[in-house]
Amino acid sequence: MDMPASLLQGSGFGRRLFPRLSIDGTLLVRDVTIGVTMSVEDLSAGGFRTISPLPLHAGTRHAFEVVQPGAPALRLVARVVHCSSVLHGQGPYAIGWVFERDFGTSANVLRLLDYVTDATSFAPEAGEPSRSGPAY
């Protein structure tokens, strides 16, 4: 069911209910709806924040793919909660997203949280085999 942006704002829907994990720019998501790759700034079980070259409207729904080395791409669906210019009226744009509450997205959010909280995903310790490919 699509919810108008006016109902999202001020309703409490999408407010942070979960602690956010800060991401240091090593996680990228591909917004397949508009064909743009974005870096993830922070992530929680309820949503995430990205930096985008394009502004987006609150309430719009987007599909994402997250590519992790050695694993199939994760599909996520989220809605824009807010979008603001990082440089006072110009891009890039900080965009806040809330995850859709569907089974596929929820299961993939859990997989993604497992991935980003696994320290070896980003910096393998000496003596451990490194994972090939970039850390997305």
Q: Tell me the pLDDT tens digit for each residue of 83-98.
A: 999 888 788 999 999 9
Q: Measure Cα distances from 67 to 28, 42, 84 in Å.
A: 8, 17, 26
Q: Tell me the pLDDT tens digit for each residue of 63-85.
A: 999 987 777 899 999 999 999 99
What percentage of residues in the chain have a pLDDT greater than 90? 52
* Domain ranges across the chain: 19-118
Provide the pLDDT for residue 96: 96
Low-confidence ranges of the chain (pLDDT < 50): 1-3, 5-14, 123-136
Nearest to 105 by CA among 50, 47, 36, 57: 47
- Taking residue 86's Cβ as centre, other Cβ atoms within 10 Å add up to 12
On whether the 19-118 domain is CATH 2.40.10.220, my answer is yes
